[in-house]
Chains A and B, each alone.
Chain A
Amino acid sequence: NAGVTQTPKFQVLKTGQSMTLQCAQDMNHEYMSWYRQDPGMGLRLIHYSVGAGITDQGEVPNGYNVSRSTTEDFPLRLLSAAPSQTSVYFCASSYGRSNQPQHFGDGTRLSIL
């Protein structure tokens, strides 16, 4: 059982480059989310999706795009990377029913030079 799989695990980009972080889950979860983790700030919600074809903004959406064409996949796109987007990114998924825990991937460590 793979759970939530994120690729790549590490990436270094130059300012202005574009990049897609991949996230896939094999648990048939309706809900998927992207968070970024920065020192001293915990995790902050970037975008989330409550089902295929439905996405919405979280707390810090600027500079990021998402789409949800299938239940399994929820890629996060950086169209023009900036140094402020240097962070660790986590994808999470859960069932749509209330009180169901979120399952997190192992994270993608992204550095923007």
Chain B
Amino acid sequence: GNSVTQMEGPVTLSEEAFLTINCTYTATGYPSLFWYVQYPGEGLQLLLKATKADDKGSNKGFEATYRKETTSFHLEKGSVQVSDSAVYFCALSDRGNDYKLSFGAGTTVTVRA
């Protein structure tokens, strides 16, 4: 079956630091890959996605590249802000079944001013 493994947190950074959150996956076929973000007290929001190998998803300064050879989808941001403090979830779905997501455990990121 499908599974997602992401780096454990919590992660604490200073403003303007570089952020990387590692994510690897196991899936049959060619899954679609997602990063969702959850701000305190809110539901999840889609941050970015990639649907095929070598695709790069990007949004709000965050980027992630779909690497089929290493089954990875690492999230990066070059300069974080306090407002980026949140829980980040890596997720995948079988192609065409985006309503059935398999999530990683989530990584809590705290950015200090």
* A residues apposed to B, CB below 8 Å: 4, 31-33, 35, 40-45, 48, 50, 58-59, 90, 92, 94, 98-102, 104-107
Most buried by A among B41, B91, B105: B105
Instruction: Name the interface size band of chain B.
Output: 20 to 34
Contacts of B42 in A (CB 8 A): 106
Once the chains are docked, how many angstroms separate the CA of A106 from the CA of B4?
23
In order of increasing CB-CB distance, the 5 nearest A-B pairs are A104-B43, A42-B103, A31-B99, A101-B46, A43-B103
Task: Give which listed residue, A44, A99, A106, contacts B98 with CB less than 8 A.
Answer: A99
A95 to chain B, nearest CB (A): 9
Assess whether B68 is interfacial by the CB under 8 Å rule.
no
Our count of residue pairs bridging A and B at CB distance below 8 angstroms stands at 63
Q: Are B45 and A104 in contact (CB under 8 A)?
A: yes
Main SS at interface, chain A:
strand
